[in-house]
């Protein structure tokens, strides 16, 4: 476990540090609130950032840039229900959730920032207080990785975990929800309540078999959160209906996250999760700086 976590940290630091630059690495929406330098206005800049004093002195339109806030409190809601103990590609979805925790911890650390977590397995809820420092961030990643797996047949409770973070109200900051968002949609209301106070990012972890069935003939389908199993023949019709139902659910999840104002990052067990994270963060920074997505 220790060697695996160390390798995860080294890989995350090596690849993210080489591709992302800045005071904050861009998970928090917006350019920040602390005054920075003035520069000439360019088409596409936000006119609300116009520096009229400099514009009057120079007779050339200028805007006042801002830099990222120096203290950020980040809260993670980590869903480790039984449905994440599954994977058919490079890793299990649970491993991908741990990697996402490591990436967020790396991207938000430093400058007096703090990070905490609410970890839910369905059987129990673990609260990790928000504190700062590299050693603490490492300990948080280890805590998530070492969380015992729930018994088969235990239903997840993402809505309950979100509610635990929402009440009592915490200092405004960044909330990151990591889940596969499978099953019911009861989490929508607490997520909207949380997003009303915090900047929100939802990280959806998926496996290819969450989306489509392989053409393998007879296959046993199992629901780890209920323990139910069914043997079926993966006919062309069944695979088509399964893919359609999965696509409909994913679209419903994406719509719910968009309506809540949450950023939506999808990580898959069969793709390069660090590259996907980089594209998400860079695109987020560009949108908020007025550049092309």
With a cut of 50, say whether residue 22 has pLDDT above it. no
CA distances from 13 to 19, 105, 113, 115 (A): 10, 11, 17, 17
Beta-bridged to residue 73, according to DSSP, are 114
Question: Does residue 291 have a pLDDT over 90?
Answer: no
Candidates 33, 60, 64; CA nearest to 51 is 64
Write down the H helix ranges in 146-235: 158-166, 188-195
Rounded CA gap, 157 and 154, in Å?
9
pLDDT of residue 293: 43
pTM above 0.95, yes or no: no
What are the tokens at 118? 């609410």
The rounded percent of the chain whose pLDDT value lies above 90 is 46
The pLDDT, as a whole number, for residue 25 is 45
* Alpha helices, DSSP H, located in the chain: 2-19, 52-58, 93-108, 134-145, 158-166, 188-195, 236-259, 273-289
- Would you give the DSSP letter of residue 233? E
For residue 100, how far is the Cα from the chain centroid? 7
Instruction: Count Cβ atoms within 10 A of the Cβ of residue 211 and give its class: 0-12 exposed, 13-18 middle, 19 or more buried.
Output: middle
Cα-atom radius of gyration of the chain, to the nearest Å?
21
**pLDDT of 125-163, one tens digit each?**
999 999 999 899 999 999 999 999 998 778 889 999 999
Sorting pLDDT into bands at 50, 70 and 90, what band is 186?
very high
Confidence of residue 2 (pLDDT cuts 50, 70, 90): low
């Amino acid at each position: 476990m220790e060697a695996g976590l160390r390798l995860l940290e080294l890989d995350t630091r090596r690849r993210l540090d080489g591709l992302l630059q800045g005071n904050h690495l861009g998970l928090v929406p917006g350019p920040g609130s602390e005054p920075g330098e003035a520069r000439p206005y360019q088409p596409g800049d936000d006119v609300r950032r116009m520096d009229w004093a400099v514009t009057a002195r120079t007779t050339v339109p200028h805007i006042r840039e801002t830099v990222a806030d120096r203290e950020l409190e980040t809260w993670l809601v980590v869903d480790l229900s039984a449905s994440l103990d599954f994977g058919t590609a490079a890793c299990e979805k649970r491993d991908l959730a741990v990697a996402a925790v490591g990436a967020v911890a790396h991207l938000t650390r430093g400058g007096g920032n703090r990070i905490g977590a609410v970890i839910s397995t369905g059987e129990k809820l673990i609260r990790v207080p928000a504190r700062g420092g590299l050693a603490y961030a490492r300990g948080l990643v280890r805590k998530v990785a070492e969380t015992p797996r729930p018994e088969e047949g235990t239903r997840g409770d993402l809505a309950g975990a979100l509610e635990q973070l929402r009440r009592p109200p915490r200092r405004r900051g960044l909330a990151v929800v990591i889940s596969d968002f499978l099953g019911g949609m009861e989490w929508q209301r607490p997520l909207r309540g949380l997003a009303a106070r915090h900047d929100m990012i939802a990280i959806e972890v998926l496996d290819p078999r969450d989306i489509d069935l392989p053409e393998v003939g007879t296959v046993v389908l199992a629901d780890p959160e209920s323990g139910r199993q069914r043997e079926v023949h993966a006919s062309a019709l069944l695979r088509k209906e399964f893919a359609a139902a999965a696509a409909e659910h994913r679209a419903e999840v994406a719509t719910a996250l968009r309506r809540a104002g949450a950023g939506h990052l999808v990580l898959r067990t069969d793709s390069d999760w660090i590259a996907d994270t980089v594209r998400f963060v860079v695109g987020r920074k560009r949108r908020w700086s007025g550049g092309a997505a």
